[in-house]
Amino acid sequence: QVRLQESGPGLVESSQTLSLTCSISGVSINSGGYYWNWIRQHPGKGLEWIGYTYYGGNTYYTPSLKSRVTISEDSSKNLFSLRLTSVTAADTAVYYCARSAGDFGNSIDYWGQGALVTVSS
């Protein structure tokens, strides 16, 4: 049974760095054919794909956030992380970690429950 669980501060001050961790169980982050994603959802809004890590630390970020985002993995702990620098109120959102699978057309087959992060001024 694959499970993903986000953890991290629920409140971040404006201009500071948002840091979240996604703990994976039921599958190794080193398993081939998977991409490990971060996605966010602003309150009452749609979904925004942030980026992913794959194949031992390779990454791809959405261009609009690329200058502020880092996604990294720790295979020894079977987790991956999100760092978003210089946050503003516009970064207040529910952040999801998720797995996408090549066998399923790179669709997202497993999601974490989501972590609400509020940026305070």
Partner 1 sequence: DVQLTQSPSSLSASVGDRVTLTCRASQSVSFYLNWYQQKPGRAPRLLIYSASNLYSGVPSRFSGSGSGADFTLTINGLRPEDFATYFCQQSYSGPFTFGPGTKVEIK
| Window contacting partner 1 (CB under 8 A); options: 8-16, 22-30, 78-86, 101-109 | 101-109
Confirm if 82 and 98 have CB atoms less than 8 A apart.
no
User: Running DSSP on this structure, what letter comes out for residue 3?
Assistant: E
DSSP for 71-98, written as a single string: EEEETTTTEEEEEE-S--GGG-EEEEEE
Binding of residue 10 to partner 1 (CB under 8 A): no
Binding mask 77-96 for partner 1 (x = CB under 8 A): -------------------x
* CB of 32 or CB of 103, closer to partner 1: 103
Question: Which two structure tokens, joined as six digits, stand for 52?
Answer: 């992913």
Residues that bind partner 1 (CB under 8 A): 46-49, 51, 60-63, 96, 98, 100, 104-109, 111-114
